[in-house]
Amino acid sequence: MNIYLDVCCLCRPFDESPSNKIIIESDAVLAILKECESQWQLINSEVITHEISKIPDNEKKLQVQRFLERSSQYIELNTGTINRAKRLWEQGIDTYDALHLSCAYESQAIFLTVDKVLIRKMQQIHEDINYNITNPVKWLMEVNNDPSQDNK
């Protein structure tokens, strides 16, 4: 199973807010990353690499880059991913989000984000392409309750 975590997810374990939502999402992201060491495939992309390079806190940047050492596939932007992202952008999706979604689609990955506004927007878009997008907590709970995943 291919997993694409957007940069908000990758940074979630370093968020300093003590809210329950942040703590639960952080734990879910760390559990998913742990499974990407053996069971699932973490997808990296040119977009993730570029966005992480802009993190001003060097220690945080280094930690997030370490997460990506587990990645098994690297998606580079090409004409297809850019055109797909443009269609999303024309429908109101921010540039980085559109590029991330397009890369996730390219790698046939589940796209995980903690951005509930993005999830809501994507649920309202009627595309000929089915983007598999959800929150990491919700997705992890669904996968953990799916008996077909027991031996995978």
Residue 127 has pLDDT above 50, yes or no: yes
pLDDT more than 90, % of the chain: 81
pLDDT value of residue 137: 96
Domains identified in the chain and CATH numbers: 2-146 (3.40.50.1010)
Task: Provide φ and ψ at 4, rounded to 5°.
Answer: -120, 110
**HEC per residue, 100-134:** HHHHHHHCCCEEECCCHHHHHHHHHCCCCCCCCEE
Nearest to 103 by CA among 117, 82, 123, 124: 82
pLDDT value of residue 131: 84
Q: How confident is the model at residue 106 (pLDDT cuts 50, 70, 90)?
A: very high
pLDDT value of residue 146: 59
pLDDT value of residue 152: 47
pLDDT more than 70, % of the chain: 93
**b/e map 106-119, b = 16+ CB within 10 Å:** bbebbbbbbbeebb
Average pLDDT score, the chain: 91
pLDDT value of residue 25: 95
Residues in a beta bridge with 4: 111
Nearest to 98 by CA among 71, 114, 118: 118
Segment 68-78 mean pLDDT: 95
- Asked if residues 5 and 112 have their Cβ atoms less than 8 Å apart, the reply is yes
Distance (Å, whole) CA 123 – CA 144 = 23
